[in-house]
Chain A
Amino acid sequence: MARYLLVRFFGFVFVILIVSFITFFLMYSTPGGPFDEKNMPLEPAAKANILKKYGLDQPFYVQWAKYMVNAVQGDFGISFKNQVPVKDLFLKYWPNSLLLGVLSLIWSFPAGIIFGVIAALKRNSFTDYFITAVALITSSLPQFAVIFFALAVFAVWLKWVPYGGWIDHGGSLSTLILPSIIFGMGTVGSLARYTRSGMLDVLGQDYIRTARAKGVSRAKVIFKHAMRNMLVPIVTLFFPVVTNIVSGSIYVELGFVIPGVGRFFLTSIFDRDYPVVMATVLIAAVILSVTYLLTDIAYTILDPRIKLT
C-alpha cells in the first residue's frame, strides 16, 4: 500500500506539472493581454515597468517555474484586475460555491439512492418505468437549458423565486433553493440509474435468496445485505460529483448570479487575469487527481477483491 501510494504520488506530481505547463502555455499564447492598449495607451517605459513588476518580461518557462514554486507554497500570485492576492479572492468566492454544492449534495444523494432502490424493488412496474425515464432525462439534460427553463417558469411566470439571484437579494438562502435543485438534478438521475442496476444485480445473487430463505426480513436484506454491495457504484459517482461541487458550476453560478469560483473563472478569462485563471485550473486539476486516487482507494476498502497494483 505504501509503495502504491508513493508511485501514485509521483504520478500525481507529474500530471499536475504537465497540466499546469499546458495551462500556462495556453494563456501565454492567447492573443491580447492584460493591457487595454486602445483606450489607455501606455508609455513604453511605463509598460516595461509594469511588465517587470508582474514578471511578464521573463521567458515563458521561467514565469511558469516561478509560478509553480510560489503556488506550492500557497502563493497564487496577485490578480491583475483586482490587485489583491488570488488566494484572498478564492477565500471570498469559494465558500459560496461550496455552500451551493453542499446544499445540492445533501438532497441529491439520498434522493438518488432511494429512487434507485424503489425502482429496483418495483421492477417492471409503472413506478419503475417512470423513475427510469425521469432519471434518464435528468441525467442527460444540459444545465444551462434547464436553468433558463426554470428561470422562465419559476422566476418570470410564477414569480416564486426572485429573478436575479444572489447578488440582487443579499445572498439569502431562499435564492439558493432553485440553483441547488438544478445542480443536484443530474446527480439524482445518474445515481438512481446506477443504484437500480446495481441493486438488481445484487438481488439476483444466491446469498440474498439464502438470507431471505433463513427468515431475514425483506427490509433487513435490502438495507444490510444488499446495500453494502451497492456502495461501489455510489462511490464511483460520489467523487466526480464532489469534484464538480468543489470546482463550482459555471452555468449555475452564471444563471443565478452567484458569486462563486466558476463565475469568477469565466470573468477572469475574459479579463485576461492570468494568475486567477492559472490558480483555478491548477486547483481544479489537483482536486480531480486527488479524487481519482481516493476513488481507487475507496474501492479496495469496499471490495477487498479489488487489488491496487
Chain B
Amino acid sequence: MTAQTLNKIQQPIEQAYKPLTPFQLAFRRFKHHKLARVGVVIVAIFFFTGIFAPQISPYPYDKTSIQVFYAPGTLPGHILGTDDVGRDLLSRVIWGANTSLIVSISATTFCLIIGLVLGFLSGWYGGVIDYVVNRVIEIVGSMPGLLFQILIMTLLGNGIFNVTFALAILGWPGWVRLVRAQVLAYKNLEFMEASKALGASIPFIARRHMFPNILNPLLVFISFAVPGYIVGEAGLSFLGRGINDPVPSWGKMLADAGQYVSSYIYMGIIPTLIIIVIIIGFSFFGDGVRDALDPESERAAT
C-alpha cells in the first residue's frame, strides 16, 4: 500500500472526526429547515434584483409612452404590461426592489450602529448613561410609530433619505434594548472578569468578548428587521409620504393603482403580490435563521 492511498483513506476519517464549529452547526440546522430554503431563494432574488436593477431592468423606470394600460402579456416587449402613463411595469417592479433594498439596508445599518454603541455603553457602564438612554427609549417608545413617521415625512418632504431617517429614528430603541440585555447578561461572567483582570482595554473586550456573544441574537433581529423596514417604506409611500415620483416604490405603485381597481386591477395586483411574496420569503428566512442560531428557541419550537 503506497503512502498516497493511505492518505486517501485517512483524510476522510480525519475530516469526519473534525468537530464542527458553531457556525457550521447552525448552517446545518438552517439547511434542514424546509421553509428557510424557500425563504433564502426569495431573499436572494430580492437582493440580486435590487443590486443589479440598472443592469437587468429592460427600460428606464420613468420612460413613458402612449401605450398605456396594457395588461401583462398583451404588449410584446413588456412582460408585465404598462401602467397609466405607459411605463413598463417590469422595470418599475425591478427598480422598486432597488428602492426597498436601499431604504431597508440603510435603516438597518443606522439602527445597528446606534444599537451597538448605545446598547454597549448603557449596559456596560450603567449609571447615568444607562438612565438617560432608558428614558430616551421610553420617550421614543411612547411615540405612536406610524403617526410620527407621517409627521416627520410631512416636515422633511418625500425622498429616499428622509424615509430612511423616519424609519430609523423611531426604530432604534429595540436594537439598543437587545444589545443592552446581552451586555448585561455577559458582563459579569468569569471570562469577562478574567479578561479585565489581564488588563484588556474596554474596546478590546467589547470587540473580542462581547460582540461574538451579541452576534447571534443580533443576526436573528436583523433578519426580521430588514423586512420590517421594507414594509415601513412601502407603507409610507402607499400613504403618499415616502418616495417621490418618478422613482418607483412598491407602496406607491399600489397607491397609484388605487383609482383603477375596478378597471385595471393588474396594476395593483403586481406590486401587491410582490410585496407579499418578498415578505413571506423574509419571514421564512428569519424563522430559519432563528432556529439555526438559537437552539434554545428551536427546542421550544419543534
Query: Which residues on A are within 8 Å of B, measured CB to CB?
Result: 11, 14-16, 18-19, 22-23, 26-27, 29-31, 123-124, 133, 136-137, 139-142, 144-146, 148-149, 151-152, 155-157, 163, 197, 200-201, 247, 250-251, 254, 265-266, 269, 277, 280-281, 284-285, 288-289, 292
Q: Is the interface of B mostly helix, strand, loop or mixed?
A: helix
Are A288 and B142 in contact, with the CB atoms below 8 A?
yes
**Beta-carbon nearest neighbor of A150 in chain B:** B272
A160 to B239 Cα, complex, angstroms: 27
Q: List 7 A-B contacts (CB under 8 A).
A: A27-B151, A137-B280, A146-B276, A148-B257, A148-B261, A152-B272, A280-B147
A146 to B235 Cα, complex, angstroms: 12
B251: chain A residues at CB < 8 Å are: 144
A280 to B150 Cα, complex, angstroms: 13
Are A140 and B283 in contact, with the CB atoms below 8 A?
yes
A152 to B231 Cα, complex, angstroms: 20
B280: chain A residues at CB < 8 Å are: 137, 140-141
A222 to B258 Cα, complex, angstroms: 47
Are A140 and B279 in contact, with the CB atoms below 8 A?
yes
**Beta-carbon nearest neighbor of B282 in chain A:** A140
Known contacts A144-B251, A266-B239; decide if A201 and B300 are in contact (CB<8 Å). Answer: yes
Known contacts A145-B276, A197-B300; decide if A152 and B142 are in contact (CB<8 Å). Answer: no
Are A141 and B254 in contact, with the CB atoms below 8 A?
no
B169-220 at interface with A (beta carbon < 8 Å): none
A284 to B257 Cα, complex, angstroms: 31
Residue among A142, A163, A289 making CB contact with B279, cutoff 8 Å: A142
Residue among A137, A247, A284 making CB contact with B283, cutoff 8 Å: A137
**Beta-carbon nearest neighbor of A286 in chain B:** B142
A97 to B151 Cα, complex, angstroms: 21
Known contacts A22-B143, A156-B262; decide if A266 and B268 are in contact (CB<8 Å). Answer: no
Residue among A11, A16, A163, A281 making CB contact with B147, cutoff 8 Å: A281
Additional A-B contacts beyond A136-B283, A145-B275, A156-B265 (16; CB < 8 A): A16-B142, A142-B234, A145-B272, A148-B258, A148-B272, A151-B261, A152-B261, A152-B269, A155-B261, A163-B261, A163-B262, A247-B147, A280-B147, A284-B144, A285-B142, A292-B141
Known contacts A29-B155, A163-B262; decide if A11 and B287 are in contact (CB<8 Å). Answer: no
A139 to B141 Cα, complex, angstroms: 21
B262: chain A residues at CB < 8 Å are: 156, 163
Residue among A23, A123, A149 making CB contact with B272, cutoff 8 Å: A149
A203 to B235 Cα, complex, angstroms: 40
